[in-house]
Each structure stands twice: as structure tokens, then as C-alpha cells.
Amino acid sequence: MRTTRQREEETQAGWDLHCHTVYSDGTLNPEGLVREAQEKGLGGVAITDHDTTAGWADAGYAARENHFPVMRGSEITADHHGISVHMLAYLYIPDNPALQALFAATRARRIERTKCMVDRLAKDFPITWDDVVAQAKEGGDTTIGRPHIADALVAAGVYPDRSAAFAAAVGGRSKYFIPVSSPSVESVITAVKEAGGVIFIAHPGATSRNRFLLSDDDFHAFADRGLDGLEVRHRDNSAEQQERLAGIADRFSLLKSGGSDWHGAGKPNVLGENRTDPSVVAEIVSRGTIDLVG
């Protein structure tokens, strides 16, 4: 039996709204995510695998089995005039046709691009397409991408870990790199809103990911379009950027979230290292269409 006090603490605890599992490039399944979140005393977690809802059923099962709340979502890759923009979509109707078409197109382009990169890499390194596919823990349900190339290179003994591979052959500045086209930010906002979801921009101040960041005017335009919030607290947003983003969020009435971008053992990010206030979680739930599970 949980005491009233414990229950109160649980409802007060922050949520981690940015987590990846084996359904994209994380190393643990949704069950592992739920168990680790529970051990850490988080209020709840969101599952946000890349451009897919493939992990939702597993996540719902784990949430109910462990009596731990899970918010179902996805991280969607978008583009704004050459700036790569990651977006976090929550609590939308999963079988919405517009959104499913967007996911399918993105996955097809990414697989094509990943195959081309592997062709280039295979000339210089001992890896094949089969080696890369073998790194995808959930087979056909996983969004195959650069992290799986990195893992294949690690398995072949070329690099000690995924980060080292990204710093070299797999990275955006490598001669093996091939860019992949993504839907526009506006089209993602429109599709997620049509599907009844809530949409944030992930790590908007990550200078390590883009040469240029979105401008204040960009955020203003996205807010007018229906954007709900910004992931202000994320390890890739510098302190200076976090201050800037918090100011922008206040100015344009956007919600402020925090997330770890947890990938299990795939990245050093620690589950719960950045959290979202329960009051913001409640607001997301009130705006979304589907319920929390667990």
C-alpha cells in the first residue's frame, strides 16, 4: 500500500517527456523505460521514438502492468529552410491518415538514405546493410537510421562507441554523410493538430546540431500556426539558450517542458536529468485527444 504522502510525492514529481526505446534508436524496450522511471521516482514518462507509434502498444502494456503513467508520443524530424527541427508530438490519434502518411514518407526516405550511406561506408569499412539491419532491435518496426550504422561500426570494432562513430564517419561533416529531406515544420504542426495532438519543438537551442538556430520570428510564426510549447530544459540547450527560450515561450504563450532525450545505453543522457512540471503535463493532457495510460 502506498501512503497518502507517497502518493502526493508521486503526483508532484516531474515527468521526463523525451525518451527513446528499441522502437527507434534506444537500447531498452518500453518495459525497461517504465521500470527505470519508476526506480528514479519520476511522476511519469513520455515514449517519443522517431517518426513512429510502433512502441505505443508495448508502452501501454508496461504502464498498466506497473501502474505507472505513460504519455504516448513521437519525435518527428522536420525542416525549416535547411535547419533540422525535431518536434515532440503527444497524445494524438495514432491512425490519423495525414500523420501516418507523413511518418511513412519520412521512414521511406530515411531507409533509402541510410542504404546509400552504407554503400559508401562499405567501400572503406567492414560493414554491410545486413549488419546495420541486425542492429535494429525490433526489426521492421524500428525506424532505421544513422544510429544503427554507428552501432554496426561499433560491432565491427571500428569505433569504441556510438558517440565516437558520430564524431567521425557517421557524422554530418563526414564524406559518407547524405542529408535526408524532411517535412516542413508547418506541415508537421498542421498534421499533428489535425490528429488532435499537442506539439512541441525539441531542443530548440541545440547549437551542436545546426549551424543556425530558429529565430524569434520563426517561433512567433510557429506559435501562430498552433505550436504548443518548447523543450526549454535539454542538455543540448546552453544556459544562455534556455534563458532565451524561456523568454520566447512566455512572450508567445508557449508551454515549457524538460526532457532527457534518454536512449538507454545508447547515449550518456540520464533518464529524468531534465523534467517537466506536473502542471504542464496536466495542460498537455487537457489539450491532447487520447489519454495517459497506466
Q: Lay out the site mask for Zn ion across 66-85 (x = CB under 5 A, - = otherwise).
A: ---------x----------
Q: Select from 51, 58, 131, 261 the one that contacts Zn ion (CB under 5 A).
A: 261
- Radius of gyration from C-alpha coordinates of the chain: 19
The CB-of-84 to Zn ion minimum distance in angstroms stands at 9
- With CB atoms as reference, the residue minimizing the distance to Zn ion is 86
Indicate the residue among 47 and 254 with the shorter CB distance to Zn ion: 47
Indicate the residue among 151 and 261 with the shorter CB distance to Zn ion: 261
Tell me the helices (H) and strands (E) count for the chain, helix number first.
Answer: 11, 7
Site for Zn ion in 94-153 (CB under 5 A): none
Q: Lay out the site mask for Zn ion across 190-209 (x = CB under 5 A, - = otherwise).
A: ------------x-------
Residues 202 and 217: their CA atoms lie apart, in Å, by 17
Q: Write a three-state SS string for 47-91.
A: EEEECCCCCHHHHHHHHHHHCCCEEEEEEEEEEECCEEEEEEEEC
The CB-of-241 to Zn ion minimum distance in angstroms stands at 15
C-alpha cell at 123: 567501400
Task: Kindly determine how many residues on this chain lie close enough to bind Zn ion according to the rule CB under 5 A.
Answer: 4
Residues 210 and 67: their CA atoms lie apart, in Å, by 39
Count how many Cα atoms sit within 13 Å of the Cα of residue 35 in the half-sphere of its side chain. Answer: 7
Q: Select from 72, 86, 233, 256 the one that contacts Zn ion (CB under 5 A).
A: 86
Site for Zn ion in 154-193 (CB under 5 A): none
Residues found near Zn ion in the complex (CB under 5 A):
75, 86, 202, 261
